[in-house]
Amino acid sequence: MEEVTRILAIETSCDETAAAVIENGRALRSSVVASQMDMHARYGGVFPEVASRQHVLSILPVVQEALDKANLTLDNMDAIAVTRGPGLAGSLVVGMNAAKGLALGSGKPLVGANHLEGHIYASWLYEAGTENPPEAPGFPLIALLVSGGHSEIDLMTDHLTYQRLGATLDDAAGEAFDKVARLLGLPYPGGPSVQKAAESGDPAAFKFTRPKTDGPWDFSFSGIKTAVLYTIRDLEKAGQPIPVNDIAASFQATVIDYLISKTVDAARAHNVRELLLAGGVSANKPLREAFLKLQNDGFKVHIPKFAYCTDNAAMIAAAGAFRFMHGHTSGLEVDVLPTWPLS
């Protein structure tokens, strides 16, 4: 009988309390996420102290639910993975301490995982019991990682190996979506709000220039955001109504084209034919569609299921599983790293 490696994972890097169980790094037995989105909407963003307190209340019930849904117990696990960083310090500490307690009490190894690495490994996931599992991404590949706090292009030549080719010099893509949403009076979270407004807008209504950077695969989103601000101010000075939908559509189209073109340039420069989209912004439907169209240019494209794009423990389970299977474990003295870079 084939040996099975089972991992219980915990994710509390921001405002989602999550736990998941995975087998052999890919087959997902359960994934539970307790969202705090409605709680933070009144603040227009995540309130760190509120987030960490809610994690304390939710963490143990969420972990137990993940085990119950998997029809397994802690004794059946080979290791416990947990997000070590990056993220909000207070939130990370709750998940880390819970994982340490479970590891200490059960005698299971502890595996500290990088949240960004988790987003990348979300493309390895499939639900346990799937008759024809999707093919796993192959190496070398180019990963476009876009989220609220990070935007970068990474080259992977093997598991757990990353070379950052380019990154944002200022705002991350998700951060730019949030700021533009506020400028347009759209509700939090900004990404889904901009996408919804853009659905009935004209992406060619406004021309927002893509900023140039010294590094060929670096990004800069601050200039695009500022261009939106000036456009709104000019319209207000002229006494004209603000075409929210058209501005949202034009902004979104500019960002997507910017992300896609840089990713393709990096892939061609490194002779890579496999592309992977990761991070919270990968939930954006037009971005996913544009990325999939790259298959017409001969690229093999990998995009996580929508449920595994935003923060979840399934992706941490996958990343933690591959770390564990490659012999990486953490001692109980391990601490959180709120600004931990991927590479």
In this structure, what token pair is assigned to residue 321?
A: 């599983």
What's the pLDDT at 37?
67
CA atoms within 13 A on the CB side of 39: 16
Q: What is the DSSP letter of 283?
A: G
- Half-sphere exposure of residue 327: CA atoms within 13 angstroms, side-chain side: 0
Q: Which two tokens stand for residue 69?
A: 């849904």
**Domain locations in the chain as residue ranges:** 6-125+308-325, 141-303
Alpha helices in 147-301 (DSSP H): 173-183, 190-198, 222-237, 244-269, 285-292
pLDDT of residue 169: 95
Q: Residue-wise pLDDT tens for the chain (343 aa)?
A: 568 999 999 999 988 999 999 999 999 999 999 976 666 666 666 767 888 998 999 999 999 999 999 999 999 999 999 999 999 999 999 999 999 999 999 999 999 999 999 999 999 999 999 999 999 999 999 999 999 889 999 999 999 999 999 999 999 999 999 999 999 999 988 999 999 999 999 999 999 988 889 999 999 999 999 999 999 999 999 999 999 999 999 999 999 999 999 999 999 999 999 999 999 999 999 999 999 999 999 999 999 999 999 999 999 999 999 999 999 999 999 999 999 999 7
Element (H, E) at 53: helix 48-69
pLDDT at 2: 62
Ramachandran region, residue 124 (left: φ > 0; alpha: ψ -120 to 50; beta: rest) = alpha
**What class has domain 6-125+308-325?**
alpha beta
Terminal alpha carbon distance of the chain? 37
Do the beta carbons of residue 172 and residue 20 sit within 8 Å? no
Q: What single-letter amino acid sits at 73?
A: T
Q: Which stretch of DSSP H or E encloses residue 83?
A: strand 79-85
| Domains 6-125+308-325 and 141-303 agree in fold | yes
The sign of the dihedral angle between the CA atoms of 310, 314, 318, 321 is positive
Q: Which CATH architecture has domain 141-303?
A: 2-Layer Sandwich (3.30)
